[in-house]
Every structure is written in C-alpha cells, then in structure tokens.
C-alpha cells in the first residue's frame, strides 16, 4: 500500500431492483447477494481480495453486514441494514470515524460489494488518477467500446455525450470531510446515480434536454454538478470494464462466473 493510500468502503446492500438475483440467493439459502458463490468464493471475497492487493488502499471497511456473516480480520465492519440507502451507509461510516478517530480522513474511496471481476490494477488506476484531479467527488466511467469488448451483452445502461457513450462505474472517490455539508443533495444523486438523464433533470431541466439528445459534453455535465451541489465533481474514464460490471441480474451473474473461470484458466491468477 502506497503513501497516498486511502481508506476504502465496500457497500453491501439489498435492493428491490435485485429481485431476480435475490430469488437466486434465497434459493441457495444465502442472506445477501454479496455472499453468492462465484468460482468457489463469495462475491464479496473477490472484491476485498482485489482491494487488499491495491497499493492505494489503506484500510477496508465493509458497511452493511456483520463480521460473522463474512469473517475477515483485515476488514473493519460497520453493521447496518443492507436495504438502507447509500448515503445512510456513508453516514454510518462517517459517525464511526467521528466516534473512533475524531473525524473522517481527507479522501475515501467507495466500491460496491457486487463487482467480483474487479482487479487490483483497476483499483490502483482509478484511485491514483482520481487523487490527481483534486476534486471533491470523482466518478469512474467506462466507454461502451471497452465494456462490450470484455462483457458483450452486459445489460449496462449507456448514455450519449459528445464523442462519448459511457456507463457509470462502481468505484468513486470523495473528499470525506465535506460529506456532512452536501449529503442531502448527494442522496438524490446517489438514488439516480446510474440514470444520468434523471440526474441532469434534477440539476438542470434545460441541460437534461441536451443530455437526451447527446449534445452535452462530459465537461458541461461536470459544471452542472459543480453549480448545483457546490462541489468540484469530475468523471474519470477508466480502461477496465470490470469497474462497471456489477452483478444485478442472473445473466450478469453468469457473465461474472464465465469471466473469472476463463481468467483462472488462461492466466492462472486474477491479478
């Protein structure tokens, strides 16, 4: 782990949108989606394994489950209802820091617990470059070309910008000490994080029309966020499809199983 390493949160959740996958986990008698087995390991173990090998991750926090559900002595657990909102989980982490260390660090990275194909190299790339942007909030994005090359038929939602067609990744970084100031607005953004058109409408109805017509640039979108939220927001395009391959549906679960099986056969490891 490097000198610029950040604390990283892994959010474990249960959403009504994951109903088909929830049925699968219930059939297998598994309480959480993140604990579904993939190639001999719980989905969450793949995520934590990649974070542990990243030189830019200092400590790992898991928010949304108890230690007895997935014991790992290298992880700090913050029990919280898995069906709670993302900002509620972030607030639980914020309160943990206030109680235990007097306040949050400057930056914190956040990963979803359902991106089992993520690799240490992708984590390193994102955090290293996100810190260089000196922004309050950095969202990872992946182009359709990169996504389709690695995971054809992924089922991700893509949005048209000038010269770009992108989807949101499940890695982001934010300036933690500002969380309390803009958490209410962040909640509205997080609830619609993967539907850019709804976000654009919430922030600027006129700009949402441009977005739907594919006439909005990423830089224009960043300026909309900055004005509306009072923070410096940036997007970071990453060349790793795994960052955006979260497992929400059964066919995405099968894609992850196939991908990790092939990686093991062809490379002998998951570095």
Strand 6-11 to 107-112 pairing: parallel
Please list the residues that pair with 8 across neighbouring strands.
60, 109
Task: Tell how far CA 224 is from the center of its chain.
Answer: 22
What stretch of H or E contains 220?
Answer: helix 218-229
Interacting residues of 3 by C-beta distance below 8 A, sequence separation 6+: none
Q: What are phi and psi of 235, to 5 degrees?
A: -105, 150
In whole angstroms, what is the distance from residue 90 CA to residue 180 CA? Answer: 10
Q: Could you tell me which CATH number the domain at 6-267 has? A: 3.90.550.10
List the pLDDT tens digit at each of the 271 positions of the chain. 334 789 999 999 765 555 556 566 655 667 788 888 899 999 999 999 999 999 999 999 999 999 999 999 999 999 988 888 888 898 899 899 999 998 888 999 999 999 999 999 999 999 999 999 999 889 999 999 999 999 999 988 888 887 788 898 999 999 988 777 777 666 655 555 555 544 554 444 444 444 545 567 778 777 777 776 777 888 899 999 999 999 988 899 999 999 999 886 444 444 4
Task: Tell how far CA 239 is from the center of its chain.
Answer: 15
- The predicted model scores a pTM of 0.85
């Amino acid at each position: 782990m490097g000198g610029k390493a950040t604390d990283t949160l892994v959010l474990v959740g249960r959403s009504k949108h994951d109903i088909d996958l929830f049925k699968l986990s219930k059939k297998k008698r598994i309480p959480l989606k993140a604990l579904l087995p993939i190639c001999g390991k719980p989905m969450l173990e793949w995520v934590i394994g990649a974070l542990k090998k990243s030189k830019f991750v200092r400590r790992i926090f898991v928010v949304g489950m108890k230690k007895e559900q997935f014991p790992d002595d290298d992880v700090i657990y913050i029990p919280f209802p898995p069906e709670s909102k993302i900002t509620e989980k972030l607030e639980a982490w914020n309160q943990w820091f206030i109680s235990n260390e007097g306040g949050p660090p400057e930056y914190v990275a956040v990963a979803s617990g359902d991106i089992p194909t993520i690799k240490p190299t992708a984590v390193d790339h994102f955090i290293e470059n996100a810190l260089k942007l000196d922004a309050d909030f950095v969202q990872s994005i992946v182009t359709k070309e990169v996504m389709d090359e690695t995971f054809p038929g992924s089922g991700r939602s893509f949005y048209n910008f000038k010269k770009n067609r992108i989807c949101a990744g499940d890695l982001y970084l934010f300036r933690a000490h500002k969380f309390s100031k803009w958490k209410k607005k962040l909640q509205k953004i997080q609830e619609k994080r993967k539907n850019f058109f709804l976000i654009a409408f919430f922030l600027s109805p006129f700009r949402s029309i441009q977005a739907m017509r594919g006439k909005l640039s990423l830089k224009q979108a960043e300026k909309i966020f900055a004005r509306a939220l009072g923070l410096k927001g940036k997007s970071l395009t990453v060349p790793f499809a795994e960052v955006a391959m979260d497992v929400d549906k059964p066919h995405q679960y099968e894609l992850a199983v196939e991908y990790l099986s092939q990686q093991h056969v062809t490379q002998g490891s998951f570095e």
